[in-house]
Structure 1
Amino acid sequence: MNFVLFLAVLMFLESDAIKLLKLANPIDLTWSFTSNSFYTKNTHPFLLTKQTSRLSEDGTWYAQNEFCTGEHVGTHFNAPYHRNRQGYKVHEIPLKHLIAHGIKVDLRLQTKRLKNKSVLLPQHLEKWVRTHGPIQQYTVLLVQFHWSQYYNNKTLYLGAKNDYELSFPGISKSAAEWIVKTKKIVGVGVDTAAVDKGIYNSEISKKILLDNNVYVLENLNIPAKFPDDNFALYVLPMKIFDGTGAPLRIIAVPEENVTKGVIIAVVPWYTHVVVLTISCLWFYVQVFLRN
């Protein structure tokens, strides 16, 4: 009787875990590309240069656009080659760096207090590790300042009325150094115009990351309610040959419904074999050795 109950609980956990995993919905972290897409100085903005649409005499519809844009416009991908002569170009980024485990450091409360002076520091990263455990190999780190709420207001988003007096949150030099020392983080994304704190002249943190082949994602649209862990990222830049950067589509597949109670659904396949073997041994002991 005990064995039957044990198997029933095991089957419930397994089936319920799979059911819960199916409830997870993909989330788009990309801003749509329009003529209002954010761009920096010396960069060509996104423009639809030709728009064609017509209804043919036979009733069929035809539409086609042509566009022109710089690599570093709107939600975009910075390849290491952007600031590292020996770094990966866009078309060279390994797929295992683009389809990767995701984590997020939440700095919303700090940013609410400090506004554009909010900065990611090593202690924030260390706190994340203490809370969630070691960082996995091939991880993409997202830093959420909740600055994307200003994206449609360029003055608030940049903290200035021009491209020369910028002021918005960013990643400190010491945090960038901490990130590259892990040897496990392959990409870093922010919901601000740049990873450095409103300074385009130096871009110290960006250079540290790119010099170590850690790519950078900028102008992300991270929703307020977004998990800190247990999600995958599909980082999909336009595959531009020799590109220093590219327009980006980035999709998150959260797994926030996965709990310790249903962990069986996300462990490797061989764990199921081990559980089954133990169950059989338990049954053997109960039925044969006790009689």
Structure 2
Amino acid sequence: MFVDLSVLLNEETPVYPGDPQTHITPAGLLHKDGYKDHYVCIGTHVGTHMDAPSHMLENGKNLNDFPLERFSGRGVLIEVNESFNIEEVKSAAVQKGDVVLFNTELSARYQEDVYFTDYPAMSEEIAQFLIEKEVGIVGVDTCSVDNIDGFPIHKLLLQNEVLIIENLTNLKILRGKNFRVHAFPVKLAIDGAPVRAVAELI
């Protein structure tokens, strides 16, 4: 069984403040051209998406520089109440290569402005702990792992080639479950891309 962890991507999909809106324009009409086709203009960090190191680092890797194995791994769910808690993270038995997902339940407010202005962020202590554990991916159901200027958590994780997924959803379904996460981005030689993130229950 698979659980869809991605939000729907369309012209109404909210975007991070300052990012470009999504535009979907017909490029082929069935009654006129005999087929349907669309021109899709999106930002690389819209909807459920993955950040590559080049998102924040001058000489960082692009998504296409990583082997496919890096986009899949054992899933670990960590609950976040009002803030990220290092003790919760330490007790989660995180292992090398894991995909660590943080559930704040804020995805329920994805269509509201507050989703982008009032959310908990990861601490440097937690980020450093996950780096030392050599996790593969960190995922959140919020718009960012940072909520202060300068994006220090992004930079810390990405400098160590820990990939980041933001704007996840449906994480509460994974409570008490064993699962693997698969999140394959489009093969683009750039700083990020939307992903169809899914959890495979095992």
Question: Normalised by the size of structure 1, how large is the TM-score?
Answer: 0.65
Aligned residue for 2:165, secondary structure, equals strand
How far apart are the structure 2 equivalents of 1:254 and 1:168? 28
How far apart are the structure 1 equivalents of 2:98 and 2:177? 11
Q: Is 1:211 paired with 2:175? A: no
How far apart are the structure 1 equivalents of 2:197 and 2:156? 23
How far apart are the structure 2 equivalents of 1:223 and 1:82? 25
Q: CA deviation at 1:71?
A: 0.6
Counterpart of 2:138 (choices 171, 176, 188) is 188
How far apart are the structure 2 equivalents of 1:78 and 1:175? 18
Provide the residue aligned with 1:246 in structure 2: 193
Q: Percent identity?
A: 26
Provide the residue aligned with 2:12 in structure 1: 36
Q: CA deviation at 1:34?
A: 1.0
How far apart are the structure 2 equivalents of 1:172 and 1:36? 31
Q: CA deviation at 1:168?
A: 1.0
Provide the residue aligned with 1:48 in structure 2: 24
Structure 1 residues 10-63: Cα deviation after superposition (integer angstroms, max 9, x where no partner):
xxxxxxxxxxxxxxx11111111111222224422211033543236xxx9621
How far apart are the structure 2 equivalents of 1:32 and 1:61? 27
Which segments of 5 or more consecutive residues in structure 2 lack a partner in the other structure? none
Provide the residue aligned with 1:156 in structure 2: 114
Q: Is 1:226 paired with 2:177? A: no
Structure possessing the higher relative contact order (Cα contacts under 8 Å, 6 or more residues apart): 2
How far apart are the structure 2 equivalents of 1:208 and 1:223? 24
How far apart are the structure 2 equivalents of 1:228 and 1:174? 26
**Kept in 2: contact 1:227–1:254 (CA 8 A):** no
Structure 1 residues 153-212: Cα deviation after superposition (integer angstroms, max 9, x where no partner):
2x2312xxxxxxx221221121111111112x011000001012x33x222211111111
Counterpart of 2:88 (choices 113, 124, 139) is 124
Counterpart of 1:173 (choices 117, 124, 128) is 124
State how many pairs are aligned: 202
How far apart are the structure 1 equivalents of 2:61 and 2:142? 23
Amino acid of the residue matched to residue 224 of structure 1? K
Aligned residue for 1:35, secondary structure, equals coil
Higher strand share: 2
Amino acid of the residue matched to residue 138 of structure 2? V
**Could you list the runs of 4 or more consecutive aligned residues of structure 1 that deviate by over 6 angstroms after TM superposition?**
none
Which segments of 5 or more consecutive residues in structure 1 lack a partner in the other structure? 1-24, 111-117, 130-134, 159-165, 256-291
Aligned residue for 1:81, secondary structure, equals helix
How far apart are the structure 2 equivalents of 1:224 and 1:45? 28
How far apart are the structure 1 equivalents of 2:114 and 2:54? 30
**TM alignment of 1:48-127, pairs within 5 A:** 48-55=24-31, 62-107=35-80, 110=81, 118-127=82-91
